Homo-oligomer: A and B are copies of this chain.
Amino acid sequence: MRITVWNENLHETRGDEVVRANYPRGIHGAIAEGLAAHFAGGDDVIRTATLQEPEHGLTDAVLAETDVLLWWGHIGHAQVADEVVAKVHERVLAGMGLLVLHSGHYSKIFQRLTGTTNSLLWRNEGERELVWTIDQTHPIAAGVPSPIVVPRQEMYGEPFDIPVPDELVFVSSFTGGEVFRSGVTYTRGLGRIFYFSPGDQEYPVYHQPEILQVLANGIRWAAPRQALRAQTAQNAPTDWFLT
């Protein structure tokens, strides 16, 4: 498995103290370290990439060697170059897996894949989030308790302006009573996409083993199942399938 963890890396580089306390090597660093235990095979590669790098670290070479891309963004969505978004989009349609994390719901790439605003209700008061498994047979929910208890979190609530998901894996509730479709899947072209909301810069959510288990499950689920290829129109003569 060849994994690339992308992070806008803005809270970290501008020196938000809470964020640096939670994630001294960045959110991308924490996720990459957390995944290392799950992908320790000889063929496994875990990279990170950030907004600040040339082409945001997502060069053709990196994308060509990425089976599954994780995307964390928050305050820098508008800074992501449209050319990079277009390339990631094209690669997802060809079969690359994509995990969109937390405030990445508003990222250009997720909006382009869903066709919706992905707006939601929110409140940041450090409430407890309970992440309930809805689809008990889904591989993304394997090996985690229902609910996963996240002690302190930003509240994300309905209405969540997304398309009807292909699969509804998790629904969360918060101390204040709101609910949220916190784990949903889509397919676009040959690419599989998993949006998972638990995880925030102000809380150490990405250090929780259950959360990392979900990310690892999501990566395995989203990994391409066949050689990547572009989706294109084909002109077909009569009886082409008999030859």
Residues in chain A within 8 A of chain B (CB atoms) = 89, 93, 95, 106, 112-117, 119-123, 125, 128, 130, 132-137, 139, 142, 145-147, 149, 155, 157-159, 161, 163-164, 166, 168, 171-173, 175-179, 181, 186-190, 192, 225-226, 231-239, 241-242
In the complex the two chains form, what is the Cα distance from A130 to B236 in whole Å? Answer: 15
Do the beta carbons of B187 and A137 come within 8 Å of each other?
yes
Do the beta carbons of A235 and B149 come within 8 Å of each other?
no
Do the beta carbons of B190 and A147 come within 8 Å of each other?
no
Do the beta carbons of B137 and A158 come within 8 Å of each other?
no
Do the beta carbons of A147 and B177 come within 8 Å of each other?
yes
List the 7 shortest-distance A-B pairs measured between CB atoms, nearest first: A161-B231, A113-B115, A173-B173, A119-B233, A117-B231, A176-B238, A130-B177
Pairs A–B under 8 Å by Cβ, sample size 26: A93-B117, A95-B137, A112-B115, A114-B115, A117-B189, A119-B233, A122-B233, A122-B236, A123-B235, A128-B177, A132-B178, A132-B179, A133-B159, A137-B187, A137-B192, A137-B225, A137-B226, A142-B226, A158-B171, A163-B166, A163-B186, A163-B187, A164-B187, A171-B171, A173-B179, A176-B238
Do the beta carbons of B225 and A139 come within 8 Å of each other?
yes
Contacts A119-B233, A121-B234, A122-B234 known; list 16 others, CB within 8 Å.
Answer: A93-B117, A112-B112, A113-B115, A119-B234, A122-B233, A123-B235, A137-B187, A139-B225, A146-B158, A147-B177, A149-B242, A157-B236, A161-B189, A161-B231, A173-B179, A177-B239
In the complex the two chains form, what is the Cα distance from A166 to B138 in whole Å? Answer: 13
Enumerate chain B residues within 8 angstroms of A177, measured Cβ to Cβ: 128, 130, 147, 173, 175, 239, 241
Closest to A239 in B: B176
Enumerate chain B residues within 8 angstroms of A120, measured Cβ to Cβ: 233
